[in-house]
Amino acid sequence: MKKFSISSLLSQLLLLFFVIIWIIPTFGLFISSLRDKDLLAISGWWTSLTTTEVNEIYRMSGMESQIEEDGYFKIKGKLFEDNSGKKIESFGISSKKINEFNIGDIATFKDESEVLLDEDGNYEWRSRTEFKKKKGKRLFTTSLSPPAFTFENYREVLFKEGIGRAFINTMAVALPSTLIPLIICSFFAYSLTWMKFYGRDTLLAIIIASLVVPLQMSLIPILTIYNDFGALFGVAAKSYPGVWMAHTGFGLASTTFLLRNFLKSLPNEMMEAAKVDGASHYDIFLRIIIPLSIPAFASIFILQFLWCWNDLLVGLVFLDQVPSEIILTAKLKELLGSRGENWEILTTGAFVSMTVPLFIFFALQRYFIRGLVAGSVKG
C-alpha cells in the first residue's frame, strides 16, 4: 500500500477537477435531451431535479361552452392536461399583475364576471349576464412544475425533424467510405511492403507527403470534376458514390500508411515460405495477411469510420442539402440556424448524432486508441 501523502491527495483533487470540467458539458447535453421542453426553455439543466416555477398564459373557453346554473352563466374548463403534475401557486388577470390572486381567491374582471381557479387548473368563470364573446379571457398563472423527464424529444427529433433520415444517410455515407479505402488500401499497402516494382519508394514518399495535405487543396478541383462529369453524362453532380470516393481519396494516404506500418512488422519468412509453396500474391494476401491483420483493420476501420461519421465539410460540399442526402452534422448545423432557440431539438439531435461514436468509443476503445497511437495523421 502506498502511504498517504498530501501530494497524492492534491493530484487526486487536480485530476478530479479536470474530469468534472471535461464531463459536465456532455452530461448537461444528455440531461437536457431528456427534459420536458417547456422546462428546458426556462430553467438550467442543473435544476432538473428540483421543482421549477413556471409563468404561463392560458385563455379560457368562449361563449359556446357556457351553461346556466344557479342563476349564473358559467364556463367551466381546464387550463392544462392533468398528467403534467404541475400545481398552480398564484394567478392574475392582467399582464401587469400576474401574481395578484392566490388559489381560492375570487378574481373579478372589469365586466364584473368572476373566476375561480384550483391548483390543478380547473376554472369556473361565472357571470350574472350572458357571455357574448367568442374568445375567453386570459389567465396568467404561476405554477410549480415537478421534475419532468421524457423521451418525447427523441420521438420529435427522429421522426419530425428529419434527424432519423439524416442518421440513415450518414450511415450510407460512412460505411462505404470506410470499407472502400480499407479494401483498396490493403492491396496497395501489401504491394508497397511485399512486392518489388519500379517506383515503389517514390510512391511511398508521395503517400507520406499526402498525409498532411489539407483537404481544402482538393475541394475546388474535385467539385469541378464532379460538375463536369455530371454534365457530361447527364447525372447528378452530387451523389453518394461521389462522397464515397471523396472520403476514399482523403483517407487513402493515412489508411495506406497505417496498414503499411503494420504489414512491415509481419515476419518476412512467412511470405517466403508461402511463395516457395507456390502461393500467388493473392493467395498470400487472402490466407495469411487478412487473418493476421484483423486487429489493425479494426483500428483503421474505427478511425476512418469516425472520421466519416463526424465529417461536415465533405458532406456539405459533395452532397445536396436535401432530406434524402443531408448528413447528421449538416442537419445539426441547419437546425442550429433555424431552431437556434429550441434547445430540446438541438440537444436531442446532437445526442442522436453522438450515439454511434459513443457506442464505438465504449465498446471498442482499445482499437480506437491503438489506431490513434499508431500515428494517425490526416490531411
Partner 1 sequence: MTILNLVFIVFLGILFFIAYFHISNYILDIYGNKTLKRYNFENSIRVIVFITPAFVVLFIFILYPVFETIRLSFYDKFGREFVGLYNYKWAINDPEFRRSILNNLVWLLVVPTLSTFFGLVIANLADRIWWGSIAKSIIFMPMAISFVGAGVIWKFIYEYRGPENTQIGLLNAIIVSLGYEPQAWLTIPMWNNFFLMAIMIWIQTGLALVIFSAALRSIPKEMLEAARIDGASELKIFFSIIIPYLEQTILVIWTLITIIVLRIFDIIFAMTNGEWQTGVLANLMYDWMFRGGGDSGRGSVLAIVIMIGVIPILAWNLYKHRQEQKI
The nearer residue to partner 1, 93 or 174, going by C-beta atoms, is 174
CB of 118 to partner 1, least distance (A): 27
Query: Residues 328-367 vs partner 1: string with x where CB under 8 A?
Result: xx--xx--x------x--xx-xx--xx--xx-xx---x--
Site for partner 1 in 184-223 (CB under 8 A): 184-185, 187-188, 190-192, 195, 197, 201, 203-223
* Residue 95 three-state SS: coil
Q: Is 46 in the site for partner 1 (CB under 8 A)?
A: yes
Report in angstroms the alpha-carbon separations of 89 from 22, 72, 152, 270, 368.
Answer: 39, 27, 27, 81, 53
Q: Is 57 in the site for partner 1 (CB under 8 A)?
A: no
Round to whole Å and give the CA distance between 250 and 162: 28
The nearer residue to partner 1, 66 or 347, going by C-beta atoms, is 347
Round to whole Å and give the CA distance between 155 and 353: 14
Round to whole Å and give the CA distance between 289 and 97: 78
Q: For residue 156, which of 323, 329, 37, 29 has the smallest C-alpha distance?
A: 37
The nearer residue to partner 1, 116 or 204, going by C-beta atoms, is 204
Query: How many residues belong to the site for partner 1 (CB under 8 A)?
Result: 115
The nearer residue to partner 1, 22 or 109, going by C-beta atoms, is 22
Q: Is 122 in the site for partner 1 (CB under 8 A)?
A: no
Centre a 10 Å sphere on the Cβ of residue 279 and count the other Cβ atoms it contains.
Answer: 16
The nearer residue to partner 1, 102 or 338, going by C-beta atoms, is 338
* Residue 330 three-state SS: helix
Site for partner 1 in 124-183 (CB under 8 A): 168-169, 172, 175-176, 179-180, 183
Cell of 152: 418525447
Site for partner 1 in 292-321 (CB under 8 A): 306, 309-313, 316-317
Round to whole Å and give the CA distance between 326 and 315: 8
Report residue 169: phi and psi, to 5°: -60, -45
Site for partner 1 in 224-253 (CB under 8 A): 224-225, 240-241, 244-246, 248-250, 252-253
Strand partners, 55: 142
Binding partner 1 (rule: CB under 8 A), the pick from 28, 77, 146, 147 is: 28
Round to whole Å and give the CA distance between 308 and 172: 10
The nearer residue to partner 1, 55 or 108, going by C-beta atoms, is 55
